[in-house]
Amino acid sequence: MAKAKILIVDDDLDLIEGTKAILESQDYEVFSAVNKIEGIDQIKSNRPDLIILDVRMTTSQEGFEMNLELRENPDYKDIPVLMQTGIEVMASNNTIASMIREMRKDSNFKDNKVLLCRNITDGSTGVDYLSEEGGSIFLPVDGFLSKPVDSEFLISEVSRFINK
């Protein structure tokens, strides 16, 4: 059986390098991209089983924008996405909801980039943010990774989405 494919989209090449090593040790095939355009190219050519997506790359919301584009594309909307952020996340038993609430308080998102969490009827969670144009956009998110990501936590999160 072919190896499961994971795409990492992050503008920090060193971080990609380490994450890649960790994931490859678990027998995943890992690709990487440093921005949205490269990321979408990679998805087209490699069709990953999971995407690990950084939020802030060239622009502060690039990860969200990319995720949104994927959700609107019928070919890619079913690929699970783990959002990875350097934004401060509370300890204790965090739900995704509370993480997003924390992100809303981050001064980087505070003013025009408000994030909201919504428990949609099927129980899944997502991000509601104000785009640069001022419109409110809802985005389903499968999971969050908070930087720096512990290797064991990374492996366990990834395995939630990929059945080997």
Partner 1 sequence: MKLIIQDQRTVKRNYWLIKLRWITIGGLAIAIVLSYILKFDVLFFGLLLVLGSLVVHNLIFLLLLKRGISSQKNNLIPYIHKIIFYQIVIDLFLLTILIHFLGGFVTPLLLFYTFHIVLASILLSRKISYLIAFIEVILLVTLAILEYYNIIPYHTIGLFDYSTLNIKFFLSILLIFTITSFALVYLVSDIALKLKKHEKLLYNTNKKLERANSELERKDCIKDEYVLRVTHDIKGHLAAIQTNLSVLHKNIAGPLDEKQKKFVSIAYNRTFKLTNFVTDLLRVTNMRLNNKTEKENFIFNDIIDNVIETIGQNANDKNIEIILSLNNNVKGYGNKFSITEGISNLILNSIKYTPKDGIITVYAKNMQQYAEITIEDNGIGIPENEINNIFDDFYRGSNAKSKKIEGTGLGLSLVWQIIEQNNGKIWVESKENKGSKFIFSIPSSE
Please give the residue ranges that form the binding site for partner 1 (CB under 8 A). Answer: 12, 14-15, 17-19, 21-22, 25, 86, 88, 90-93, 98, 101-102, 105-108, 110, 147-151
CB of 161 to partner 1, least distance (A): 19
Least distance from partner 1 to the Cβ atom of residue 140, Å = 22
- H/E stretch holding 128 reads strand 125-130
Q: In terms of DSSP bridges, do strands 125-130 and 115-117 run parallel, antiparallel, or are they unpaired? A: antiparallel
Instruction: Specify the DSSP class assigned to residue 92.
Output: S
When the beta carbons of 13 and 74 are compared against partner 1, the nearer one is 13
Q: Which is nearer to partner 1, 89 or 139 (CB)?
A: 89
Query: From the CB of 76, what's the least distance to partner 1, in Å?
Result: 26
Nearer to partner 1, 69 or 102 (CB): 102
Cβ closer to partner 1: 86 or 140?
86
- For residues 77 and 131, give the distance between their C-alpha atoms in angstroms, rounded to a whole number: 20
Q: From residue 157, how far is each of 19, 74, 132, 161 by CA, in Å?
A: 13, 25, 31, 7
Shortest Å distance, C-beta 101 to partner 1: 6
Beta bridge partners of 139: 127
Least distance in angstroms from the C-beta of 93 to partner 1: 4
**Nearer to partner 1 (CB atom), residue 73 or residue 90:** 90
Helix (H, G, I), strand (E, B) or coil at 138: strand
Count of CB atoms within 10 A of residue 4's CB?
Answer: 20
